[in-house]
């Protein structure tokens, strides 16, 4: 089976672009593209965290096919959580590799270095704004701080340069950071300035390369959170030690979310603990549902071998992570994601050739990237 881009395309993955950040009056260019192209409010893939979604988009398939369900995983040799940052975790080819096999060239521009570590195969040009290489710094200047909105504009400027000057490229994958969404709700002036600026880049991209298809989607939404549970401590305090509890949202960007997120993968010391652990977890205020790995994998198209023994789903206000005590009330301005409550995202396609997208067929972010390719 081969996959080939239908048209030169820029695929913009705006990290953390909850649909509530989309206001047509603030983003008139995006609104224009929505009206004259394809737009739908759709769903991210669960869990609503970067890797599971970013890699689904970049591979054009669901996590049960590409294998990545988390930003970090429990390494039972080292008995600790390890960041998932290597292409070896992929159980399928990326769209960049498929395009490359069809003789098409891809560039990967991302704020987060974990993205280039996982997705660089098949890419002929890549930049991670978090740690750019020397030649990138020389050409584009040093990037603004990782914990800023400005780093997104620095990356967009590179995309713009490629659109103007790299005729050989067929696909540009542009992945911003969600630091602004972690920091600011949609109505905050700083957020409005950020979304306006991203919108202006959409105009610049289209003007620079009017032949390009523009695709835009997101990996997850964002919500205020009120309370965090350390599930290992909570279970320990109630009489059962866990092997480990992973917060799959956790990555190296601690200032975004302190490593907390709205989902946990629980590893049991023994299968015989399961019944009692489920009972304890379900008794915790804010826990909505506990699924065993097979139920969760089946329901959400995940890989059962990579989500622990139990998947824990909280309400909108609750996150999980490592704490000094079993639980903690969070600061009022704390915002994060990971749960079923951060799934609503935009799905945008504009300036496509040939058969237009059908409303009923574009439902998740992964459908947006799939649409850019023909598979035969």
| Residue ranges in contact with a copy of itself by CB under 8 A | 24, 35-36, 38-43, 45-46, 62, 288-289, 295, 298-301, 313, 315, 340, 343-344, 356-360, 363-364
Shortest reach from residue 315's CB to a copy of itself, in Å: 7
Q: Which residue in 137, 216, 113, 117 sits closest to 172, CA to CA?
A: 216
By three-state DSSP, how is residue 244 classified? strand
CB of 363 to a copy of itself, least distance (A): 4
Is the separation of the CB atoms in 105 and 126 below 8 Å?
no
Judge whether 148 and 179 are in contact, CB under 8 Å. Answer: yes
C-alpha–C-alpha distance, residues 346 and 77, integer Å: 40
Q: What is the smallest separation between the CB atom of 177 and a copy of itself, expressed in angstroms? A: 25
Q: Which is nearer to a copy of itself, 45 or 99 (CB)?
A: 45
Nearer to a copy of itself, 131 or 359 (CB): 359
Asked if residues 8 and 213 have their Cβ atoms less than 8 Å apart, the reply is yes
CB of 282 to a copy of itself, least distance (A): 10
- Provide, rounded to whole angstroms, the least separation between the CB of residue 108 and a copy of itself: 25
Q: How are strands ordered across the β-sheet holding 344-350?
A: 38-43, 344-350, 213-217, 9-13, 171-175, 106-110, 125-128
* Least distance CB 47 / a copy of itself (angstroms): 11
Sheet containing strand 244-246, edge to edge, reads 244-246, 264-267, 310-314, 287-292
- Give the span between the Cα atoms of 253 and 261, in whole angstroms: 13
In angstroms, the CA 56 to CA 68 distance is: 8
Radius of gyration of the chain from its Cα atoms, rounded to whole angstroms = 20
Nearer to a copy of itself, 115 or 365 (CB): 365
């Amino acid at each position: 089976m081969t996959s080939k881009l239908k048209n030169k395309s820029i695929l913009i993955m705006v990290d953390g672009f909850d649909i509530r950040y989309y206001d047509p009056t603030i983003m008139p260019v995006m609104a224009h593209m929505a009206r004259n192209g394809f737009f739908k409010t759709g769903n991210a893939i669960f869990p609503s965290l970067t890797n599971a979604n970013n890699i689904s988009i970049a591979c054009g398939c669901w996590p049960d096919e590409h294998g990545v369900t988390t930003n970090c995983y429990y390494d039972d040799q080292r008995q600790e959580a390890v960041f998932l940052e290597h292409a070896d975790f992929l159980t399928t080819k990326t769209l960049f590799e498929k395009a490359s096999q069809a003789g098409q060239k891809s560039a990967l521009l991302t704020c987060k270095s974990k993205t280039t570590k996982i997705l660089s195969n098949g890419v002929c040009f890549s930049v991670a704004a978090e740690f750019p290489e020397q030649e990138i710094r020389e050409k584009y200047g040093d990037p603004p701080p990782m914990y800023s909105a400005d780093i997104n504009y620095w990356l967009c400027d590179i995309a713009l340069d490629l659109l103007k000057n790299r005729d050989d490229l067929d696909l540009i994958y542009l992945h911003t950071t969600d630091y602004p969404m972690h920091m600011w709700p949609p109505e905050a002036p700083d957020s409005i300035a950020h979304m306006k600026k991203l919108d202006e880049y959409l105009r610049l991209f289209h003007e620079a390369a009017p032949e390009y298809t523009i695709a835009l989607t997101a990996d997850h939404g964002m919500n205020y959170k009120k309370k965090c549970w350390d599930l290992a401590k909570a279970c320990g305090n109630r009489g059962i030690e866990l092997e480990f509890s992973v917060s799959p949202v956790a990555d190296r960007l601690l200032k975004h979310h302190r490593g907390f997120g709205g989902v946990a993968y629980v590893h049991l010391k023994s299968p015989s603990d399961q019944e009692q652990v489920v009972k304890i977890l379900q008794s915790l205020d804010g826990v909505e549902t506990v699924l065993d790995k097979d139920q969760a994998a089946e329901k959400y198209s995940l890989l059962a071998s990579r989500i622990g023994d139990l998947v824990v789903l909280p309400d909108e206000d609750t996150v999980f992570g490592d704490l000094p005590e079993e639980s903690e009330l969070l600061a009022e301005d704390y915002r994060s994601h990971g749960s079923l409550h951060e799934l609503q995202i935009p799905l945008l396609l504009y300036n496509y050739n040939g058969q237009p997208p059908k409303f009923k067929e574009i439902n998740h972010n992964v459908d947006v990237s799939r649409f850019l390719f023909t598979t035969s």
